[in-house]
Amino acid sequence: MTAGIDTPDRRGRTGLDRHGRDLTGNPGVRIREVELLSSDWYVLRKTTFDFRHGDGHWSREQRETYDRGDGATVLLHNTDRRTVLLTRQFRLPAYVNGHPDGMLLETAAGLLDGDGPEEAIRREAAEETGHTVGAVEHVFDVYMSPGSVTERLHFFAAPYDTADVPVGGGPGGIAEEGEDITTVELPFTEALDRIRNGTIADAKTIMLLQWAALDGPFAR
């Protein structure tokens, strides 16, 4: 008996080795086997499949996929003040891979956890920044690391009122999950400068800031 397959894992899940076995959308891909490697919190699988190449020959391939669920992120902006509201929090993976202190400036974000993207981003914005999001604008949906991670991230933008949020306050986030998040209000031009000098190094945040400059609330 294996947790996550025959018996519930720590999150009560079973049958995790069946996910992805019945895919039929691409006739050039034939799924042969799905092996569950880990389900401690998120799910790591190894999939064996046959792949038809451009010249017609088939090869057998194996890939590992990390499934943490889909997520959502939002750029909070104030066009009158020409500012954006970001968060700062510790990210261990960035820290172990060369970031000086692991404290990243980011747009508010989180996993869907069974909610729709808009509902999830309202929840995450409130938890991380203390701001209650009103109308949101859907920007785009992106596979953030498609070589190994299944996550699709839903991108949004929404205005914020400085009177409604404790800018510079904190900590935000969920203490029981070890989160310690502070809010950081930046002039939009400074946020762009921070992309150039590397002090904003988070992909989703860079994408939303550049969208805001090209097509969004700060476009010329």
pLDDT at 210 over 60: yes
pLDDT at 27 over 90: yes
CATH code for the structural domain at 71-214: 3.90.79.10
The CA distance from 98 to 13, in Å, is: 35
Higher pLDDT, 24 or 162: 24
Residues 96-110 have a mean pLDDT of 97
Domain assignments of the chain as residue spans, ordered by start: 16-67, 71-214
pLDDT at 167 over 50: no
pTM of the model: 0.91
The CA distance from 75 to 55, in Å, is: 44
> Which band of pLDDT confidence, cut at 50, 70 and 90, is reported for residue 178?
low
pLDDT at 48 over 70: yes
pLDDT at 1: 80
> Which band of pLDDT confidence, cut at 50, 70 and 90, is reported for residue 172?
low
Per residue in 194-206, pLDDT tens? 999 999 999 999 9
